[in-house]
């Protein structure tokens, strides 16, 4: 196989970097990860631990969404196979008051920090070398490639033939102007409550609410907890928890009865924590492609970032696309 034993650097250890690494390792590549944050860390600059944790595709039916559909469905198929042994389904029932239409589908819910830990352990078992360091981004993409080479050298590792850029929102610090401008935060705020909801439920288009606010309920299997959300606030970098938004989420959950099974005797939820995270938004959708400048300092760069609110549900599909893009490059 052409890929066998070729060395690849993955920059980033969020869901995109970890899944890409796992898929590369399984295909026979040698992989080194460089990342400033790894599973177990919690930081506003590290989106992955803050995710809600369900599969709900945002891809539409238009031809321009065909890549999104294939990334999401690739992940759905892989997860469904993975879960086969312990697969349980529950019938959706009811429809929120005043809802004009509803869609029922089999979703998959997961606990993001736990899933990151699982992937991190898996890639290390398969021999990945992890270097926890922040790469200098002041001199653009070519500066990043040079810095990466220096880090590899200092760690006694041989040169890589390609680097996969999985830096999420941080890619805006080193990519060229127009590309950097296309990246923006989509702020999310969630409430972790006690009890596991029967199933995931979403309500969009809430009467009297801004379009940036919606409701979603995501049980975290096996933890006795559930995530309640939320919002999608484009361009908002505020790390502060918005208390009024929390109140609106709770009031709407009660009003529309989205997870009444979690309410205690007094009718309230038992709140465990509040979270804020920044989805890596990108105009035009995720970027999964080979850098169009060709090799930089002798290294191919493949991008895999800009996954907005879909980084988990498209992770395996995107990693498969990275493999497909690398295949012809690894022959040369």
Q: Which of 32, 226, 313, 330 binds ligand FAD (CB under 6 A)?
A: 313
Per rule CB under 6 A, is residue 115 in the interface with ligand FAD? no
Q: Which residues touch 192 (CB under 8 Å, ≥6 apart)?
A: 225, 226, 227, 228, 271, 272, 273, 274, 275
3-state secondary structure (DSSP) of residue 240: coil
Beta carbon nearer to ligand FAD, 13 or 262: 13
Residue range at the interface with ligand FAD (CB under 6 A); choices 43-51, 150-158, 238-246, 266-274: 43-51
Report the residue from 34, 128, 228, 299 that binds ligand FAD according to the rule CB under 6 A.
Answer: 34
The correct pick among 3, 7, 36, 122 for binding ligand FAD (CB under 6 A) is 36
Q: If you ran DSSP here, which 8-state letter would residue 253 be given?
A: H
Q: How far is the CB of 157 from ligand FAD (least distance, A)?
A: 16
Contact status: 48 vs ligand FAD (CB under 6 A):
yes
Show the 3-state SS of 308-331: HHHCCCCHHHHHHHHHHHHHHHHH
188, 219, 281, 285: which one binds ligand FAD (CB under 6 A): 188
Q: How far is CA 230 from CA 51, 186, 200, 281, 287, in A?
A: 11, 12, 13, 16, 25
Distance from C-alpha of 151 to C-alpha of 145, rounded to nearest angstrom = 10
For the four alpha carbons of 286, 23, 144 and 5, in that order, the dihedral sign comes to negative
Q: Which parts of 55-114 interact with ligand FAD (CB under 6 A)?
A: none
Residue of 13, 175, 199, 323 that binds ligand FAD (CB under 6 A): 13
Which residue has tokens 């191919």?
300
Task: Tell me whether residue 216 is annotated as binding.
Answer: yes
CB burial of residue 199 (10 Å; 0-12, 13-18, 19+): buried
**Shortest approach of ligand FAD to residue 267 CB, angstroms?**
26
The answer to whether 39 and 122 are in contact (CB under 8 A) is no
Residue 160 near ligand FAD by CB under 6 A: no
Write out the two tokens for 263.
């309410």
Task: Name which position in 54, 149, 172, 220 contacts ligand FAD (CB under 6 A).
Answer: 54
Using only C-alpha atoms, the chain has a radius of gyration, in whole angstroms, of 20
Binding string to ligand FAD for residues 275 to 304, with x set by CB under 6 A, is what?
A: --xxxx------------------------
- Cα–Cα distance between 257 and 243 in angstroms, integer? 21
**Smallest distance, ligand FAD to C-beta of residue 315, A:** 7
Distance CA 44, CA 91 (A): 36
Report cis status (omega within 30 of 0) of the bond before 230. yes
Flag whether 61 is marked binding: no
Site stretch for ligand FAD (CB under 6 A), options 7-15, 97-105, 201-209, 319-327: 7-15
Segment interacting with ligand FAD (CB under 6 A) among 11-19, 95-103, 234-242, 258-266: 11-19
Site for ligand FAD in 211-230 (CB under 6 A): 230
Locate tokens 């609106």: which residue? Answer: 248
Q: Is 259 in the site for ligand FAD (CB under 6 A)?
A: no
Q: Which residues are annotated as a binding site for FAD?
A: 47-48, 135, 167
In the annotated binding site, the residues are 47-48, 135, 167, 216, 279, 309
- Residues placed in the known binding site for D-dopa: 216, 279, 309
Residues of this chain that bind ligand FAD (CB under 6 A):
11-17, 34-37, 46-48, 50-54, 134-135, 137, 166-168, 170, 188, 190, 230, 277-280, 305, 307-313
């Amino acid at each position: 196989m052409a890929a066998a034993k070729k060395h690849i650097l993955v920059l980033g250890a969020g869901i995109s970097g970890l899944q890409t690494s796992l898929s590369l390792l399984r295909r026979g590549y040698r992989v080194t990860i460089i990342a400033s944050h790894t599973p177990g860390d919690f930081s506003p600059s590290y989106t992955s631990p803050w995710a809600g944790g369900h599969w709900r595709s945002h891809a539409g039916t238009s031809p321009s969404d065909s890549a999104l559909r294939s990334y999401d469905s690739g992940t759905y198929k892989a997860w469904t196979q993975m879960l086969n042994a312990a697969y349980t389904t529950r019938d959706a029932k009811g429809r929120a008051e005043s809802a004009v239409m509803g869609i029922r589908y089999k979703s998959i819910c997961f606990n993001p920090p736990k899933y990151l830990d699982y992937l991190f352990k898996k890639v290390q078992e398969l021999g990945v070398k992890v270097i926890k360091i922040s790469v200098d981004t002041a001199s653009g993409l070519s500066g990043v490639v040079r810095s990466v080479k220096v880090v590899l050298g200092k760690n006694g590792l041989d040169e890589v033939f390609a680097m996969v850029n999985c830096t999420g929102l941080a890619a805006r610090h080193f990519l060229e102007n127009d590309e950097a401008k296309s990246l923006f935060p989509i702020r999310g705020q969630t409430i972790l409550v006690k009890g596991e909801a029967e199933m995931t439920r979403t309500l969009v288009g809430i009467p009297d609410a801004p379009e940036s606010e919606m409701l979603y309920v995501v049980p975290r299997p096996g933890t006795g907890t559930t995530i309640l959300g939320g919002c999608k606030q484009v361009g908002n970098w505020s790390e502060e928890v918005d208390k009024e938004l929390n109140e609106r989420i709770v009031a709407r959950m009660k009003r529309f009865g989205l997870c009444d099974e979690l309410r205690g005797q007094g009718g309230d939820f038992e709140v465990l924590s509040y979270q804020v995270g920044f989805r890596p938004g990108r105009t035009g959708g995720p970027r999964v492609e080979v850098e169009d400048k060709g090799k930089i300092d002798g290294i191919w760069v493949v991008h895999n970032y800009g996954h907005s609110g879909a980084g988990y549900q498209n992770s395996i599909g995107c990693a498969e696309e990275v493999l497909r893009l690398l295949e012809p490059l690894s022959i040369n």
